[in-house]
Amino acid sequence: MTIALWMVLAAALIPYLFAVIAKFGRDYDNSAPREYLARATGWRQRSNWAHLNGFEAFPPFAAAVITAHLLIGQSALTDWLALGFVTVRLLHGVFYIANLATLRSAAWAAGFLCVVSLFLAAARII
């Protein structure tokens, strides 16, 4: 399996990392997790938002990697773009939790650029 395909798994797991962070602590109520997160504030709330955003970002990324593999096969470019996506998505979550909105937006944009670039690579435009 290629690095890019392993990064699909990594990207699928990122939202769960931020969900665990949002729920970390003694006051977490596992009998009503959605209610608990709906009442969360501060860094817990932002971690939950990073968790939800991770699910939004995953489908286009997975589709881009799979499309690139179907059309061009394994390539160093797709591996690097996939690694870049996972890296900036992790940073996106860190910046979200730290309430660094400008850096968070830059990380989001970099991840989006990786997805677009994967599709362009599949089309052999780059």
Q: Give 67-93 pLDDT, tens digit per residue.
A: 999 999 899 999 999 999 999 999 999
Domain that holds residue 95: 3-122
Q: Which amino acid is at 48?
A: N
The CATH number for 12's domain is 1.20.120.550
Q: What's the count of helices (H) and strands (E) in the chain, helices before strands? A: 5, 0
pTM listed for this prediction: 0.93
**pLDDT tens, residue by residue, 24-59:** 877 887 888 888 888 889 999 999 999 999 999 999
Q: Which amino acid is at 101?
A: A
How many domains, in total, are found in the chain? 1
Residue of 81, 58, 57 lying closest to 69 (CA atoms): 81
Residue with tokens 């955003």: 53
